[in-house]
Structure 1
Amino acid sequence: MDKERIGFAGVGLMGHGMAKNIVEKGWPLTVLGHRNRAPVDDLKRRGAAEAANARALAEASDIVIICVTGSAQVEEIIMGPEGLASAGRPLLVCDCSTSAPSSTVRLAKALAERDITLVDAPLSRTPKDAEAGTLDVMVGGDDAAVERLWPVLQAFGERIIRTGPTGSGHTMKLINNFLSLGYAALYAEALTLGAKAGLSPTVFDSVIRDGRMDCAFYRTFFKWVLERDREAHKFTLQNALKDMTYLAGFANDMGLANPLGAAVRNSFATAVGTGHGEDYVPMLSDIVAELNGVDLTGE
């Protein structure tokens, strides 16, 4: 049986590795052109074709995967003047971005009238995992659509979890990011407090590592704190603030008081507001420390 034609929009930090795995595992792949030519040209060398706009991507594809910044970009790619929907043909669209659940649900209803099915399949882990094909994937959507999509998800995902109907994947992703970004805010503040009291990051780590408060995210975060490894967790503070803003809106829609979510959001808003939006999440530790007159790089 011939494999379906896959389109891919958003071959950035995460998307490039995902798309690489798709094309190398035998799917015909077309990628949406982008001003950053390096990942597009790399994928073309591996056998992918390139589409000039989203309409052309839809015309060349049976399934389109989107991996961009958030809902605004997803809506433009799908519903814009030269968007996927403008091609006027049946499609299965999979949104792997971290999007607002309310936008996802609205979009799915509007697309169903055009014979386009939307599945949300946001991701967890890092660009390194995208390259290795070992991402975590949270999938929300119609059973038949998810079953059809499953082999493609397996090309880049190691743990694939069904979450329920369309929109539930993005809901779970926001909750997942609330936990991880909450840890980041706690680590940054705890490190600064310790340093103020004369406890170095090395001493801090020697107590936490291998103890009950250790976890995979902690170790990724501390590869920056201790080793200054910029590659450890390549997720920007600007994107973290975006996700926490989505969470605030979602909590408001649910009628939920979320004071901890607001506090975590404010940590990232402070980092972005002081000009650090393009820095990565573990670097929040240095920003909080500097605001408090502390240097975490010395012992």
Structure 2
Amino acid sequence: MERIGFVGAGLMGEGMALSLLRAGHPVTVVAHRNRAPVERLVAEGAAEAADLAALAKASDVVHVCAPGSPQVEVIVEALLPHLAPGSIVVDCSTANPVSTVALAARLEAAGCAMADAPLGGTPAQAMEGKLSAMVGASEETFRRVEPILRRWADAGVEHVGPCGTGHRMKLLMNFLAMGYGAIYAEALALARKVDIAPARFDEVMRGSRMGCGFYETFMASAVHGQRDAHKFTLTNALKDTTYLAAMAEAAGLANPMGAAIRNSYAGAVNMGGDGAEDYVPHLADFVARANGLD
């Protein structure tokens, strides 16, 4: 069994690391700000490394779950001098593909490899090992990591193409998801302006052709007050739509819809207060207030 290092055992990473432990992999974790998940994993049999250097030395395959590319770059720089040749870094973050490809080249020069394997699913699915993953990697690297990824991605592992392609695919997926969120938020505000209660709007829409899993969790939070039903922050939404804009620019594509969606999240995040750490369905509150609704 490959020895697994896990950096970022947080909202999603804790469940992923737990699935790897339960499958019999030796797992080493490292603490950052929140020690509680690390302590729970240690209680399940994980080892705790003092720092990233120690984690690299104890691992054959290192998973990274970080907020974005700047953090991933810092983590890989710290791991790189201590990784044995043949080691693999699996970046499960939603990251900038340009950064991903550059990091992969640095790892390859050191005799290591990289796979980008961004996630699909929720924290609850992570705890059950039922996430999905879209993977960018060479054929050889994918063959080696696929059985490991399937320990926590029971819902499906798709090899999209070479390194960087997984992150490109994830940005396209989040473009659609954050677009849904921006449209739902405006629709709820407009419904109230024309005297249709949000709950009534939801009754009509739910189960129609316009409904989907994203719709259901968004409305569970925005309309029915279940704050944790859709746990993806406005900050992350802004980060991902910003990465998408950079990807579109590099490809020479006009991306007016992407710009409009990004501006919706930028406005909410920059309003101050708790906006940065609210979840995507709370965009509805910001749109409402901007339009004179309580």
Equivalent residues in 2 for 1:1-299 (5 A)?
Answer: 3-79=1-77, 83-90=78-85, 91-157=87-153, 158-275=155-272, 276-295=275-294
Contact 1:54–1:78 (CA under 8 A) maintained in structure 2: no
Query: Within 2, Cα distance between the matches of 1:282 and 1:268?
Result: 11
Query: Within 2, Cα distance between the matches of 1:145 and 1:44?
Result: 28
Query: Within 2, Cα distance between the matches of 1:133 and 1:109?
Result: 30
Query: Within 2, Cα distance between the matches of 1:136 and 1:204?
Result: 31
TM-score (norm 1): 0.95
- Kindly report structure 1 stretches of 4+ aligned residues shifted beyond 2 Å: none
Query: Within 2, Cα distance between the matches of 1:185 and 1:147?
Result: 38
Contact 1:34–1:40 (CA under 8 A) maintained in structure 2: no
Q: In structure 2, the residue corresponding to 1:145 is in which secondary structure?
A: helix
Q: 1:88 to 1:191 in 2, by over 3 A?
A: closer
Query: Within 2, Cα distance between the matches of 1:202 and 1:286?
Result: 15
Amino acid of the structure 2 residue aligned with 1:87: H
TM-aligned CA deviation for residue 88 of structure 1: 4.8
Q: In structure 2, the residue corresponding to 1:231 is in which secondary structure?
A: helix
Amino acid of the structure 2 residue aligned with 1:15: G
Structure 1 residues not aligned, in runs of 5+:
none
- Count of aligned positions: 290
Q: In structure 1, the residue corresponding to 2:228 is in which secondary structure?
A: coil
TM-score (norm 2): 0.97
User: What's the CA shift string for 1:77-131, capped at 9, x where partnerless?
Assistant: 011xxx1101152211100000101111111112100011000000111111111
Contact 1:244–1:261 (CA under 8 A) maintained in structure 2: yes
Structure 2 residues not aligned, in runs of 5+:
none
Query: Within 2, Cα distance between the matches of 1:35 and 1:194?
Result: 41
- The RMSD of aligned alpha carbons is 0.9
Query: Within 1, Cα distance between the matches of 2:114 and 2:241?
Result: 24
Q: 1:165 to 1:203 in 2, by over 3 A?
A: same
Query: Within 1, Cα distance between the matches of 2:287 and 2:145?
Result: 42
TM-aligned CA deviation for residue 24 of structure 1: 1.6
Contact 1:10–1:68 (CA under 8 A) maintained in structure 2: yes
Q: In structure 2, the residue corresponding to 1:128 is in which secondary structure?
A: helix
Q: 1:58 to 1:88 in 2, by over 3 A?
A: closer
Amino acid of the structure 2 residue aligned with 1:60: A
Query: Within 1, Cα distance between the matches of 2:88 and 2:278?
Result: 34
Query: Within 1, Cα distance between the matches of 2:83 and 2:117?
Result: 23
Query: Within 2, Cα distance between the matches of 1:163 and 1:187?
Result: 30
Query: Within 1, Cα distance between the matches of 2:227 and 2:197?
Result: 20
